[in-house]
Amino acid sequence: MGNKIKAAKEKVERSKEYSLEEAIRIVKEASYTKFDEAVDLALNLGIDPKKSDQMVRGSVSLPHGIGKKVRVLVFAKGEKEKEAVDAGADIVGAEDLVEKISKGWLDFDKTVATPDMMGLVGKLGKILGPRGLMPNPKLGTVTFDIARAVKEIKAGKVEYKAEKAGIVHVPIGKVSFDNQKLLDNAKAVLDSIVKAKPATSKGKYLKKISISSTMGPGVRIDIASLGKGV
Protein backbone atom coordinates (compact mmCIF):
# COMPACT_ATOMS: atom_id res chain seq x y z
CA MET A 1 0.00 0.00 0.00
CA GLY A 2 2.96 2.28 0.71
CA ASN A 3 4.02 2.23 -2.95
CA LYS A 4 0.47 2.98 -4.09
CA ILE A 5 0.22 6.00 -1.80
CA LYS A 6 3.59 7.26 -2.99
CA ALA A 7 2.59 6.82 -6.64
CA ALA A 8 -0.67 8.68 -6.02
CA LYS A 9 1.12 11.61 -4.37
CA GLU A 10 3.63 11.79 -7.22
CA LYS A 11 0.79 12.60 -9.63
CA VAL A 12 0.27 15.91 -7.85
CA GLU A 13 2.70 18.84 -7.81
CA ARG A 14 2.12 20.27 -4.33
CA SER A 15 2.99 23.84 -5.23
CA LYS A 16 0.93 23.86 -8.43
CA GLU A 17 -2.65 24.99 -8.84
CA TYR A 18 -4.68 23.22 -11.51
CA SER A 19 -7.78 24.04 -13.51
CA LEU A 20 -10.92 22.34 -12.19
CA GLU A 21 -10.93 19.97 -15.17
CA GLU A 22 -7.28 18.99 -14.62
CA ALA A 23 -7.80 18.54 -10.89
CA ILE A 24 -10.72 16.17 -11.43
CA ARG A 25 -8.70 14.11 -13.91
CA ILE A 26 -5.77 13.85 -11.47
CA VAL A 27 -8.01 12.85 -8.55
CA LYS A 28 -9.45 10.00 -10.62
CA GLU A 29 -6.00 8.88 -11.84
CA ALA A 30 -4.53 9.01 -8.32
CA SER A 31 -7.21 6.78 -6.80
CA TYR A 32 -5.65 3.48 -5.72
CA THR A 33 -8.21 1.84 -3.43
CA LYS A 34 -10.42 -1.13 -4.27
CA PHE A 35 -13.58 0.67 -3.12
CA ASP A 36 -15.36 3.50 -4.93
CA GLU A 37 -14.05 6.55 -3.09
CA ALA A 38 -16.09 9.68 -2.50
CA VAL A 39 -14.85 12.90 -4.10
CA ASP A 40 -15.00 16.10 -2.04
CA LEU A 41 -14.46 19.80 -2.57
CA ALA A 42 -12.82 21.74 0.28
CA LEU A 43 -13.12 25.53 0.24
CA ASN A 44 -11.33 27.94 2.56
CA LEU A 45 -13.51 31.06 2.72
CA GLY A 46 -12.68 34.63 3.72
CA ILE A 47 -15.23 34.77 6.50
CA ASP A 48 -15.34 34.85 10.30
CA PRO A 49 -17.74 32.01 11.22
CA LYS A 50 -17.80 33.23 14.83
CA LYS A 51 -19.90 36.17 13.61
CA SER A 52 -23.50 35.12 12.97
CA ASP A 53 -23.80 37.45 9.97
CA GLN A 54 -20.84 35.75 8.28
CA MET A 55 -21.98 32.15 8.58
CA VAL A 56 -22.12 30.37 5.24
CA ARG A 57 -24.69 27.60 5.19
CA GLY A 58 -26.94 26.26 2.49
CA SER A 59 -27.88 23.38 0.24
CA VAL A 60 -27.51 22.63 -3.45
CA SER A 61 -29.02 20.04 -5.77
CA LEU A 62 -26.23 18.24 -7.61
CA PRO A 63 -27.10 17.50 -11.26
CA HIS A 64 -25.79 13.94 -10.96
CA GLY A 65 -26.25 13.16 -7.26
CA ILE A 66 -23.45 11.83 -5.05
CA GLY A 67 -23.56 8.18 -6.04
CA LYS A 68 -24.89 7.04 -2.70
CA LYS A 69 -28.27 5.80 -1.53
CA VAL A 70 -29.52 8.32 1.01
CA ARG A 71 -31.83 7.09 3.78
CA VAL A 72 -34.40 9.82 4.43
CA LEU A 73 -36.36 9.96 7.68
CA VAL A 74 -39.50 12.11 7.84
CA PHE A 75 -41.36 13.37 10.91
CA ALA A 76 -44.98 13.72 9.80
CA LYS A 77 -48.54 12.67 10.56
CA GLY A 78 -51.76 12.01 8.64
CA GLU A 79 -51.83 13.00 4.97
CA LYS A 80 -48.23 14.25 5.12
CA GLU A 81 -47.10 10.83 6.35
CA LYS A 82 -48.64 9.22 3.26
CA GLU A 83 -47.12 11.96 1.05
CA ALA A 84 -43.68 11.15 2.47
CA VAL A 85 -44.06 7.42 1.83
CA ASP A 86 -45.29 8.03 -1.73
CA ALA A 87 -42.31 10.32 -2.40
CA GLY A 88 -39.85 7.59 -1.41
CA ALA A 89 -39.02 8.35 2.23
CA ASP A 90 -37.34 5.39 3.95
CA ILE A 91 -38.69 5.96 7.47
CA VAL A 92 -41.78 7.96 8.45
CA GLY A 93 -43.32 8.54 11.85
CA ALA A 94 -43.76 10.87 14.81
CA GLU A 95 -43.63 10.13 18.55
CA ASP A 96 -42.47 6.58 17.84
CA LEU A 97 -39.40 7.86 15.99
CA VAL A 98 -38.57 10.45 18.65
CA GLU A 99 -38.56 7.70 21.27
CA LYS A 100 -36.47 5.39 19.09
CA ILE A 101 -33.87 8.09 18.31
CA SER A 102 -33.70 9.19 21.96
CA LYS A 103 -32.58 5.64 22.76
CA GLY A 104 -29.66 5.85 20.32
CA TRP A 105 -31.05 4.66 16.97
CA LEU A 106 -29.56 6.67 14.10
CA ASP A 107 -29.85 4.46 11.01
CA PHE A 108 -30.61 7.28 8.55
CA ASP A 109 -28.75 10.01 6.62
CA LYS A 110 -31.15 12.98 6.35
CA THR A 111 -34.23 14.22 8.15
CA VAL A 112 -37.27 16.20 7.03
CA ALA A 113 -40.14 17.45 9.19
CA THR A 114 -43.40 19.29 8.77
CA PRO A 115 -43.43 22.59 10.76
CA ASP A 116 -46.08 21.33 13.18
CA MET A 117 -43.74 18.50 14.22
CA MET A 118 -40.83 20.71 15.28
CA GLY A 119 -42.04 21.06 18.86
CA LEU A 120 -41.65 17.31 19.16
CA VAL A 121 -38.46 17.05 17.07
CA GLY A 122 -36.87 19.86 19.11
CA LYS A 123 -36.48 17.39 21.99
CA LEU A 124 -33.87 15.60 19.86
CA GLY A 125 -31.74 18.71 19.35
CA LYS A 126 -28.81 17.47 21.42
CA ILE A 127 -28.74 14.20 19.47
CA LEU A 128 -29.46 15.38 15.92
CA GLY A 129 -27.82 18.83 16.06
CA PRO A 130 -24.16 17.80 16.53
CA ARG A 131 -24.54 15.24 13.74
CA GLY A 132 -25.97 17.75 11.25
CA LEU A 133 -29.26 15.83 11.18
CA MET A 134 -31.61 18.46 12.62
CA PRO A 135 -34.32 19.62 10.16
CA ASN A 136 -33.83 23.28 9.26
CA PRO A 137 -36.26 25.64 7.47
CA LYS A 138 -33.36 27.51 5.82
CA LEU A 139 -32.27 24.27 4.17
CA GLY A 140 -35.77 23.34 3.06
CA THR A 141 -36.03 20.40 5.44
CA VAL A 142 -38.77 21.91 7.61
CA THR A 143 -41.65 22.22 5.18
CA PHE A 144 -45.21 21.18 4.38
CA ASP A 145 -44.02 20.37 0.84
CA ILE A 146 -42.76 17.01 2.03
CA ALA A 147 -42.81 15.28 -1.37
CA ARG A 148 -40.57 17.89 -2.94
CA ALA A 149 -38.10 17.86 -0.03
CA VAL A 150 -37.79 14.06 -0.05
CA LYS A 151 -37.40 13.86 -3.84
CA GLU A 152 -34.73 16.58 -3.88
CA ILE A 153 -32.67 14.81 -1.22
CA LYS A 154 -33.04 11.46 -2.98
CA ALA A 155 -31.98 13.06 -6.27
CA GLY A 156 -28.76 14.46 -4.83
CA LYS A 157 -29.38 17.56 -2.75
CA VAL A 158 -26.46 18.15 -0.35
CA GLU A 159 -26.04 20.55 2.54
CA TYR A 160 -22.95 22.51 3.50
CA LYS A 161 -21.86 24.59 6.46
CA ALA A 162 -18.69 26.54 7.21
CA GLU A 163 -16.62 25.10 10.05
CA LYS A 164 -14.76 27.13 12.69
CA ALA A 165 -11.84 27.99 10.43
CA GLY A 166 -14.12 29.07 7.58
CA ILE A 167 -13.66 25.79 5.72
CA VAL A 168 -16.50 24.09 3.85
CA HIS A 169 -16.44 20.43 2.78
CA VAL A 170 -18.95 19.27 0.17
CA PRO A 171 -19.25 15.84 -1.50
CA ILE A 172 -19.54 15.99 -5.30
CA GLY A 173 -19.74 12.33 -6.24
CA LYS A 174 -17.64 9.18 -6.57
CA VAL A 175 -14.36 8.35 -8.31
CA SER A 176 -16.38 6.10 -10.65
CA PHE A 177 -18.26 9.14 -12.02
CA ASP A 178 -17.04 10.30 -15.41
CA ASN A 179 -15.13 13.60 -15.50
CA GLN A 180 -18.04 15.63 -16.84
CA LYS A 181 -20.42 14.56 -14.08
CA LEU A 182 -17.89 15.52 -11.40
CA LEU A 183 -17.29 18.81 -13.20
CA ASP A 184 -21.01 19.60 -13.39
CA ASN A 185 -21.48 18.80 -9.70
CA ALA A 186 -18.43 20.84 -8.68
CA LYS A 187 -19.66 23.86 -10.63
CA ALA A 188 -23.10 23.60 -9.01
CA VAL A 189 -21.46 23.66 -5.56
CA LEU A 190 -19.19 26.58 -6.42
CA ASP A 191 -22.09 28.61 -7.83
CA SER A 192 -24.14 27.98 -4.69
CA ILE A 193 -21.34 28.93 -2.30
CA VAL A 194 -20.54 32.11 -4.26
CA LYS A 195 -24.21 33.11 -4.07
CA ALA A 196 -24.13 32.43 -0.31
CA LYS A 197 -21.37 35.01 0.26
CA PRO A 198 -22.31 37.13 3.29
CA ALA A 199 -22.72 40.86 2.59
CA THR A 200 -20.42 41.57 5.55
CA SER A 201 -17.56 39.43 4.17
CA LYS A 202 -14.80 41.77 3.03
CA GLY A 203 -11.71 41.04 0.97
CA LYS A 204 -11.10 37.79 -0.87
CA TYR A 205 -14.00 35.37 -0.40
CA LEU A 206 -12.63 32.22 -2.05
CA LYS A 207 -9.14 31.90 -0.55
CA LYS A 208 -8.26 28.29 -1.34
CA ILE A 209 -10.03 25.41 -3.06
CA SER A 210 -8.92 21.81 -3.33
CA ILE A 211 -10.43 18.54 -4.46
CA SER A 212 -9.63 15.03 -3.26
CA SER A 213 -10.91 11.50 -3.02
CA THR A 214 -11.39 9.76 0.35
CA MET A 215 -7.86 8.34 0.49
CA GLY A 216 -6.15 10.33 -2.24
CA PRO A 217 -4.02 13.49 -2.11
CA GLY A 218 -5.58 16.94 -2.24
CA VAL A 219 -5.28 18.78 -5.55
CA ARG A 220 -5.26 22.58 -5.37
CA ILE A 221 -7.44 24.49 -7.83
CA ASP A 222 -6.50 27.73 -9.55
CA ILE A 223 -9.33 30.02 -8.46
CA ALA A 224 -8.63 32.56 -11.20
CA SER A 225 -9.31 29.87 -13.83
CA LEU A 226 -12.88 29.44 -12.56
CA GLY A 227 -14.05 32.68 -14.17
CA LYS A 228 -15.36 36.09 -13.21
CA GLY A 229 -18.40 34.72 -11.39
CA VAL A 230 -16.10 33.47 -8.64
For 104-139, the pLDDT digits (tens) are 999 999 999 999 999 999 999 999 999 989 999 988
**What pLDDT, on the 0 to 100 scale, is given for residue 228?**
47
Q: Calculate Rg over the CA atoms of the chain.
A: 19
pLDDT at residue 48 above 80? yes
Q: Write out the CATH class of domain 72-154.
A: alpha beta
The tens digit of pLDDT for each residue in 67-91 reads 888 899 999 999 999 999 999 999 9
**What pLDDT, on the 0 to 100 scale, is given for residue 3?**
56
Q: Are strands 72-75 and 91-93 parallel, antiparallel or unpaired?
A: parallel
* Domain range summary for the chain, segments of one domain joined by +: 14-65+157-226, 72-154
Average pLDDT rounded to a whole number, residues 171-195: 95
Residue 154 burial (CB count, 10 A): 18
**What pLDDT, on the 0 to 100 scale, is given for residue 2?**
59
Rounded to whole angstroms, the Cα distance separating 89 from 147 reads 9
Q: Which one of 3.30.190.20, 3.40.350.10, 3.90.420.10, 3.30.565.10 gives the CATH number of domain 14-65+157-226? A: 3.30.190.20
Domain 14-65+157-226 matches domain 72-154 at the CATH topology level = no
What's this model's pTM, rounded to 2 decimal places?
Answer: 0.78
* Closest to 171 (Cα-Cα) out of 33, 43, 31: 43
Percent of the chain with pLDDT over 90: 68
Rounded to whole angstroms, the Cα distance separating 74 from 93 reads 7
Average pLDDT rounded to a whole number, residues 166-179: 94
* Closest to 203 (Cα-Cα) out of 99, 75, 47: 47
pLDDT at residue 171 above 80? yes
**What pLDDT, on the 0 to 100 scale, is given for residue 34?**
86
